[in-house]
Structure formats: C-alpha cells, structure tokens
A and B are shown apart, each in its own frame.
Chain A
C-alpha cells in the first residue's frame, strides 16, 4: 500500500507544482493592469503615491521571478495575505469556511455513492426489465435538473411551506447550543444543501455503476461462478460487486472535484457560509487575493481526491498492485 502511494506521489507532486504555478500566473495573464486585479476597481481613484505604495506593498515592482519565489514561500507557509475588502488574514477566512464546504460535499458524496451504487447495481441486475428502464429514465431526468432551481424548490417546499428545515446559514445565529444540541442544529441546516448536492450527483454514480456492472456481468468469470453452482446472490456479492465498484471510485473522485466547484451555486442559494459562498462574495467584491487563495484550496482538494482514488484502486483490484 505504502509503495503505491510513493509510486504515484511524484506524479501528484508535479501536478501540484504546475497547478499552483498556474494559479500565480492567472491574475498576471488577465488583461489590464495587475494592480487593478490586486487592488480592485478603486485603483482609478487613487493618487499616484497611493498606487506606488500598494505596488511596493504587494511586491509588484519586484522582478517576476522574485514575485514567483515569494508566492511559493507564501503558499508553503500558509501565508496567503490579507483580504482586500475586510483586511482579515485569508488563511483565517478559509479555515473558517472550509469545514462547512467539506461537510456538505463529503456528506452528499457519501450518501450519493451508497444510493447510486445500490440503484445502479440493482438496475443492472434487472437489465432490460421494467425496474431498470424506469430507473434509467428517472436518472436521466434528474441529471438534467439545474442545481439552483432544485435548491430553490427544496427551500420553498421544506423550509418555507412546511417549515421543517431552516432555509439559510449553517447554524442558528446567536444561539448558544452546546454538544449534541449544536450537532443537531448543524445537521438541520446541512440537510437541504446535502440533499440538493446528493440528488445532483446520484445519476452519475448510478450510470457508472450500472454500466460497469453490466460489463462485469457479461464476463467469463461470472459464467465460471455460475458453473460452480453459486447462487445468483452469491454471484452478485461474491463476484460482480467488487469488480464493478472499481470504476465507480474513480468517478467519485472526479465528482468530488465537481461538487466542490458546484458548491458556489448551492452555498449561494442556501446562504451557506462555505468556501463557495466565500468565492461568490470575493467575486462580487472583486477581492482578488481571496479568490486566488480559494482557487488554491480547490486545486489541492481535487489533487487529494484523485490521490485517494489512486490509493483505493489497488485495494479493490490486485492487478494494480506493484509486486
């Protein structure tokens, strides 16, 4: 297991370096003065002295290479600078927001993985029958739902009309819940965003699982298992399942990255104080340092998700193990 990690680690390190370097170049490649990107629209109202001060403060007068090295230093020491809008340290803002995003993305991913794998497997097992066809049709319809619309629908039904769940935030404001009461409060707030994200990611998991399982069902070793006298249940759980799940793991890693990005819309709809909401705020306020830092966190999250998938693969499939 450890050998596998090391084997791919060099590749992941390379991806990390390239992605983080691109993140440095991005604001500098955009049209217009990089100063405008860093200091925002107010740059036009500044006096030349003020401008010079800011340029020196953020190091824009240094050679590009020095800027690049400083940028890397900052990344590696988690010193991401200060928000232009609020003046707060960006690291602090991110550590405050990240757990909320992780809660709803990882939560929804786990729920949708379980539901998608079960439904996809069931569908493939009943291939061509009514169950399969109606489920398939349902999933295709689900897949075409716009995320903001689904979020708003859930709010209007479950929060506004039925009043079962709160419609915004991650916790009840100014409440002093402790212990289990607080956990309950957090879960109550997280349910609608998680449901929305889950519903959106189930079809993909379902499709991947269904297809992968159909492929495994047609393979020769399934016939061997039947020829041994294995019951259908045994064939399903003893031989099909593990072989079919491997591609789903890869899909989930990609889906995680997708959900992380998709959280911008969902968190905005639910006014959920996660990273996506932070990006939304940064974009509307042209707070470029915050945006850059948030992108960095996204990049790392995607790389980590893929690494986890890579580590899981050999566990599921011995052919992937290095001898």
Chain B
C-alpha cells in the first residue's frame, strides 16, 4: 500500500479535498491469475462531497465496481493487488486492520448490490438480516433492534412491515428484496451509500420506484450516494456529478448537466449518440462506436479508448492522458483533443448504408397467432388442482412480411414464452400459430426451418466445443441445404455479411467478444434461410457501446433479405428503434398494439403510459413525464386479477367496472388496438405529448 499526497495535476480536487467525504487518489487494482494479469483500475482519482449524489458510469469491465468494492475493502487480495489511497472522513482505508475496517463497513458506508435475488441470505428472515446490521455496530437490545428493523422496512416502502419482518427473502419480489437490501445498507445511518447497479436486474417500472426511493432517502438523511451504473439514463435525474469510466480510468467528470449536455470526451459523446433513446427524433440508423471494449492485460501506456476513437492521433498512444479542466464547474476530460469533440455529431455521424434493392415492408402475413394460450401446470404440493402459470393467455397477433414486431412488457408478462412458442419450443395449450397459413408443428423436422431464433446470452447459446464454421453450418446440415462445399462458401458469405472475417471461422466461440458472438448467432439464424427470426432480448447482455452495432445489423439484414423479426425486449428505447409495430403485453395478454410512432407519441393504455414514463432519459433536463409511476409488483400470473388484469395497479381504474368486466382488445382508431374500458376517456385526459428533446439529427 502506498499513500500518495494530493497529485499536482489535479488542483481542483485538492481544494475540494478538505471537505470531501471520500477521497480516492491514484487507485490501481490488478488481478493476477496464473495465466495473466488484468489491470482493472489504472489510476483513479475521485472526490465525493458530503450529501452529494455521484454517478459512476461505465460498461462492464470499466473498473467502476472494482473501484468501489476497493473502498469497502471487499476486493479479495490476493488475487487482487490494490494500491493508491482511499481516505474516508480523513481516514486512510487502504491497509486498515480488518477489525477497524469491519467497524466502518455497514456503519459509515452502506452498500447495495446488483442482484437482489442472491444478495440476501436465503435461510435467515429479513428482519434478522437487518437486525444483524444494527447489532454489529450498536449495543442495542434485540427488541430495540427489531423495532428499528420494522421502522426501516416501513421507511423503504415495504407494506405492512411489522408482519413482513418475519418473512424469508424468497417470499419477496425482486423489487421488494432490493428495498430490503437498502434497509440493511441504511441500518446504521451511514454517511455514504454505495449502490452498485441496484436497478439493473429490475424491470423499468420497478427501477423507477427504487430510483425515487433512493432520491427521497438521500434528501431526508443527507448522506452521500455513489451510484454505479452502465445506464446513462438511470442517473441523469438524480446525480449531482457524473464520472464516466473506460478501461479502468475516468474519461470525463463534471456536473450531470455538463456531462450530458456538453460532453467533452469522444467516448461520452459516442455513448450518448449511439444508445437508443425514447426522447429524440428517430433516425434510420444508429451511430455506432466501432470495436469492442478490451480487457487490459498490460500496464497501460495509451489512452484506453484510442483504438475505437475517431479523434485518435499519434499523441494518444504516447502516454496515458490525465483529466484536465475542460469547462466551468470543475468539468474535466481525459482527452488530449477535447477541444475538437464539439457536440459529437461530427464524430459519430449516422452512416447511411447502401442496400441494393431493399425489401420493403408489406402487408402479407407471415405468422398469424390465433387465440394462443400457453399454460404451465403447477405441480407444487398444495397447489390447487389444475392450477397453472398462465404465461400466455389468449393472444391474437399477425407478423407481416419484412417487418419487425416489437414485444414489450415487464418480466413475467409472457413475452419470452410467446417467442419460444413461435419457434415451436413450447407446445400451445390452446389456440394455434399459422406460419404461411400452415399450423405450426412443434415436432422436429424441416418445417422448423422457417422460424429461427436468436437468444439473449450469446455465450451459453453456443456449443463451446464447436468451431464457429460448424455452428453456422449446422442449420444447413440439419435441413439438408446444399453440398458440404456449398455450405462452406455460404458460411463464409454469412460471416462476412454479419461483419465477422471468414478467416476466423475455424475458431471457437470463447475467442470472440459478446458482440461478435451475437453476430455469429445472427449468421447461424440466417443460415437456415428462415422467413422469421425471433430475437429474445438480443442486445441486453451486450456492452452498451456495442448494442447499436447489433441493432443496425438486424435492420440491415431485414432490408437486405426481407426477413420478419419478432423483437422481444424490456428496453423500450431499443424496441422503438427497430420495430414497425409494437405489442405491449401484461400478464399473458396484449393490452395495446399499434404502429411504432403511435405507441411512443401517444400511448393509449394506462399500462403503456406507465411503462414509457418509467424509461429514464439520459438527460438531466429532459422533461419528466407527468404520468404517475406504477405502484407495486406484477400480480401472480397463476391467479390473475379479475376484470381488467391491470386494474390492481392502474392509476385510473374505475371501481365496479375495471375490477369486474374484462376489457376486450378492440380497434380504437386506424391500426390501433387497446384493451381498456376507459380508452376514450383517457384520450381526453392525456395532455398533449411533450415535444421530443431533439438530438442526433
């Protein structure tokens, strides 16, 4: 452990350091494995003021989580080696004896983690887990601790806290478990809360609830918050200051407003331009950041972003650039050429793609879904006879030639089951699926060629023991397409068309990055020469800087081949960019179906409105939707509410109508289908949708 003085190159930080709650200087973290050394954090300087909300933004592998785990002393060493200086409240944390560090953790610094499903001990009641956090640091009686645990649960918004205090974690929903995690982190009134991607595993509606909760708690308790995220949108609303990390270093830092609206680093502008948003004008293509983020295995000697940066010059590789003042209010950028960044439109132009003879969308149906129901019987003991999870519960949809149908909804709404049924992986309980007018047969055979699938996780969806060439050729082999020589040349063509060099066809999947693997998955789906591809969350497992590449590739493929896509995703912004038509699902049913612009410009169903309102915009000054946020969780899909299934969470539900009568999915105006009793009246009460915040055109 080395303790550095205030670095000379950062005068702004030195003056702020006196009253900083947390002060990090030249933090470096290396992980040494038998085969290589990974440089996860490469010299991070950071100050967080008391009562400040500080956002640390970066892709996976950028070093943001490791930096903050180092503050908590939770990076295991060995294999890690942590150097630099971390002072908290004037005290050096690095190298602190274990006992003293234990006294700080939980009492002065609380931490909330990403996955609320696995972050609570499954065998202890939640009350006990909160009481433990209190009694580790304060000499209070069990009764007193229990009282405080109930107060805390109440404070983080758990209904009937005094009853639920004795429940086990598995009896709570994901959002509720994250509230319990927050209660644990806040048990001793810490002066700093570190939240590590606390909403990433949650639905957008629940994310909204958690963000609001943390914002309120921060205001009431006056603590500092460090919010770690890969999603620029989440923190725009609540962060005072933002630091953007890449390759284990801070690329840019400043007030939220400065970073979002006046970004001075090519990486920040690249992210802001390339991520799909719901608050800007639509463009045919998304600007792309080329390449993929690499793991750093050698002592860095250059700007970590230089290989992907359009501004790269010789000097970018001659040393590691440090943060320099780039604007007022302590706005800093680690780009040598930050004065040339501008608003980023020049750096990240929309590149039009020439597609000879593009296939235009038509009205011919490819897939027709009629009254589809998929129920999964519950065999658990004590379940009612005939009880079933009604994953899909009566859906009629048509997918047209060369178009994309976006399917959105919270997790548990049945959208993935719908996708799997269309490929024939799940047998319908009732109703039918027609492909080109023929009923879908879920037995294996050549008829399965027509509908192919791309999965969420490109790693686990490929046999790790097969070469890429064989993976892509397999659908052709199964369906007996071409001779082995034909197939080989077709594999090369397919790989080239998805942007993978055919020369690497003999490699194995683990040699490729996530984005490249997803390209290979697209090539594999295309190999069968299908008419429809079901894409189940195809970009949500990818790094944010890579998502635009895949979205563009799917669009391009569609225009070149006339394929139809069913794009299932929880991210409404991505869906907006690729879909012609959108179906919004709730508890196994479609509640609204309309052409893309109609849905995003003027949602009619209260659920669609709430979903869209919950999407965070990556801009601190964006007009926040006035629509009320959605309360509570998705009801039990094996016992859906009576009447309109949404009435239990609906802000405008009318008693005696919505809770008793089932609304029918009916045509409201041209091409729009909505299942809501009140749709006519909600059209009236909706204020005109705010002008989209222009950017990107």
Chain A residues engaging chain B, CB cutoff 8 angstroms: 7, 219-221, 223-232, 234, 238-239, 242-243, 316-319, 322-323
Contacts and interface: CB of A to CB of B under 8 A. Distances in A.
A176 B40 CA distance: 76
9 contacts: A224-B113, A226-B72, A226-B74, A226-B105, A228-B132, A229-B106, A243-B122, A243-B123, A318-B168
B102 A221 contact: no
B119 A223 contact: yes
Nearest to A229: B106
B121 A239 contact: yes
B325 interface: no
Contacts of A243: 121-123
A220 B168 contact: no
A221 B118 contact: yes
Contacts of B122: 221, 243, 317-319
B99 A231 contact: yes
B181 A220 contact: no
Contacts of A224: 113, 119-121, 181, 184
Contacts of B121: 221, 224-225, 239, 243
B384 interface: no
Nearest to A232: B98
Given A224-B119, A322-B381, 12 more contacts: A221-B120, A221-B122, A223-B119, A224-B184, A225-B121, A225-B132, A227-B72, A227-B113, A228-B187, A229-B133, A239-B121, A323-B171
A229 B113 contact: no
B232 to A, nearest CB: 25
Given A319-B170, A323-B382, A228 B106 contact: yes
Nearest to A223: B74
Interface residues of B, number: 35
A226 B106 CA distance: 8
A223 B460 CA distance: 26
A224 B177 CA distance: 13
Interface in B185-244: 185, 187
Contact of B111 (A227, A232, A319): A227
A323 B99 CA distance: 40
Nearest to A318: B168
Given A229-B103, A229-B107, A231-B102, A317 B381 contact: no
B151 interface: no
A-B CB proximity, top 8 nearest: A229-B106, A229-B105, A228-B106, A220-B118, A227-B111, A220-B119, A221-B121, A228-B133
Contact of A220 (B99, B113, B133, B170): B113
A216 to B, nearest CB: 10
A228 B113 contact: no
B136 interface: yes
Contacts of B185: 227
Contacts of B653: none
A231 B118 CA distance: 20
A219 B168 contact: no
A237 B103 CA distance: 19
A227 B74 contact: yes
A232 B185 CA distance: 19
Contacts of A318: 122-123, 168, 170
Given A220-B115, A230-B136, A7 B381 contact: yes
Contact of A228 (B123, B124, B184): B184
Contacts of A230: 102, 106, 132, 136
B650 interface: no
Nearest to A230: B136
A323 B113 CA distance: 28
B118 A228 contact: no
By CB atoms of chain B within 10 A, which of A7, A232, A319 has the most? A319
A322 B383 CA distance: 10
Interface string B118-157: 1111111000000011001100000000000000000000
B49 interface: no
B381 to A, nearest CB: 5
B104 interface: yes
B641 to A, nearest CB: 21
B132 A238 contact: yes
Contacts of A317: 122-123
By CB atoms of chain B within 10 A, which of A220, A223, A224, A234 has the most? A224
Given A221-B122, A319-B122, A228 B105 contact: yes
Contacts of A322: 380-382
A49 B123 CA distance: 69
A178 B105 CA distance: 61
A87 B60 CA distance: 77
A214 to B, nearest CB: 13
Nearest to A319: B170
Contacts of A231: 98-99, 102
B105 A227 contact: yes
Given A230-B102, A322-B382, A242 B123 contact: yes
A234 B135 CA distance: 12
A98 B104 CA distance: 58
A230 B184 CA distance: 13
A316 B122 CA distance: 10
Contacts of B171: 323
B636 to A, nearest CB: 13
A232 B133 CA distance: 14
A229 B105 CA distance: 5
A229 B102 contact: yes
By CB atoms of chain B within 10 A, which of A227, A239, A316 has the most? A227
B132 to A, nearest CB: 6
A271 to B, nearest CB: 46
A219 B123 CA distance: 13
Nearest to B101: A229
Contacts of A225: 121, 132
Nearest to A222: B121
Nearest to B132: A228
A34 B563 CA distance: 70
Contacts of A223: 74, 113, 119
B137 A229 contact: yes
Nearest to B113: A220
A238 B381 CA distance: 31
Contacts of A220: 113, 115, 118-119
Given A220-B118, A227-B72, A238-B132, A316 B123 contact: yes
A100 B385 CA distance: 47
A227 B136 CA distance: 11
A239 B118 CA distance: 13
Contacts of B382: 7, 322-323
B104 A229 contact: yes
Contacts of B132: 225, 228, 230, 238
Interface string B144-184: 00000000000000000000000010110000000001001
B163 to A, nearest CB: 14
Interface string B88-107: 00000000001100111111
Contacts of A316: 123
Contacts of B168: 318-319
A226 B104 CA distance: 11
A225 B102 CA distance: 10
Interface string B442-484: 0000000000000000000000000000000000000000000
A238 B133 CA distance: 12
A3 to B, nearest CB: 8
A231 to B, nearest CB: 6
A19 to B, nearest CB: 23
A42 B381 CA distance: 54
By CB atoms of chain B within 10 A, which of A7, A225, A228, A323 has the most? A228
